[in-house]
Amino acid sequence: MRRYYTRACNFYFGNQSKILVNKKKSIPLHQIKEISFDQIEIITRKTKKRISINQIKQLPKTLKKKINLDIKKIKSKKKNFSNFNFKKIPNILGVLNLTPDSFSDGGKFNKKSKGISHAINLYKDGASLVDVGGESTRPGSKAVNKKQEWNRINKILKLIVKKIPISLDTRKSGIMENGIRMGVKLINDVSGLSYDPKTINVLKKYKIPLVIQHSVGTPENMQKNPKYKNELLDIYDYFEDKINLLRSKGIKHNNIILDPGIGFGKNLKHNMSLIRDISIFHSLGFPILVGNSRKRFIKDISKKNDSKTRIGGTMASSIYLLMQGIQILRIHDVNEVIQGIKVFNEMVKN
């Protein structure tokens, strides 16, 4: 049986969006009138067809039912959790790497005073949470043991977790449990809960919100010629399967975020395909997080204009993702990106 997917597209913003929503000419994303769409793309493994929302009623009965169910998820209101406010787009997840070898800031903040100061500054600059990690998962990196990872983050985590909202970036169930007991508000597992078989039991026990990221293989090998039949639809199916697995294991809450994993087992073509059509994931019904900050795709595109911080490429991709209704961006340079978002929002007000 042919499988159909629904992608919201042709978005409007600000007052123009509110006017169209009030006239029922566009559909608000997650009940936010300031961002709406008036077209959808109906996608299969072999075809794509873009239609206006007014043409949905002309579709065959079975397909129309499927599309309307997807649109119900796309326009459903998202409940706030983990200090994220889903009445606004986007939220910012600040990055604090307490590692010696992360791809862009390894060794920069892993001293206690610098780490604490940076975390607090990220939050003051406007991050909803700060994502703390003690193990680099950049391409080619090797795993570190639980004791080493915990030693990197323990002291700083203890000092900041009561002051600012913290997300914990880890693949290990033991680290997760330690962090949850300290008071972290979100678990961010880049392996999609696949690295440690005990992870799901910890998440079930504490009923904590979580990020499910898509990745291929492990950081050591994930960039060795990654292949997909269709990266966009393969990853969509992966998320559906993963959600079904969580439900079967007893995780019933909806405090789940989906991250397609830019750069994790993807080449430039895969990354660009995901970013261009990322609004397809709205029809899964969960908030979407994208880690676009300082990623290699910026270097691959800019070539000789590459820089260490890659703020230009981060800002351009952040605005594009904002225009697709992405709810959370994982960002190193929080102040600069929020500045850009404020300017964008002012420009589309009228």
Q: Which residues are catalytic?
A: 295, 330
| Backbone phi, psi, residue 60, to 5° | -55, 150
Q: How many helices (H) and strands (E) in the chain? A: 11, 12
Q: Which residues contact 37 (CB under 8 A, 6 or more apart)?
A: 8, 9, 10, 11, 12, 26, 27, 29, 53, 279
- For residue 252, how far is the Cα from the chain centroid? 20
- Spatial CA neighbour of 183 closest among 130, 135, 226: 130
Q: Are 262 and 271 in contact (CB under 8 A)?
A: yes
- Spatial CA neighbour of 103 closest among 300, 334, 332, 312: 332
**β-strand partners of 12:** 36
Q: What does the alpha-carbon distance between residue 1 and residue 9 come to, in Å, rounded to a whole number?
A: 25
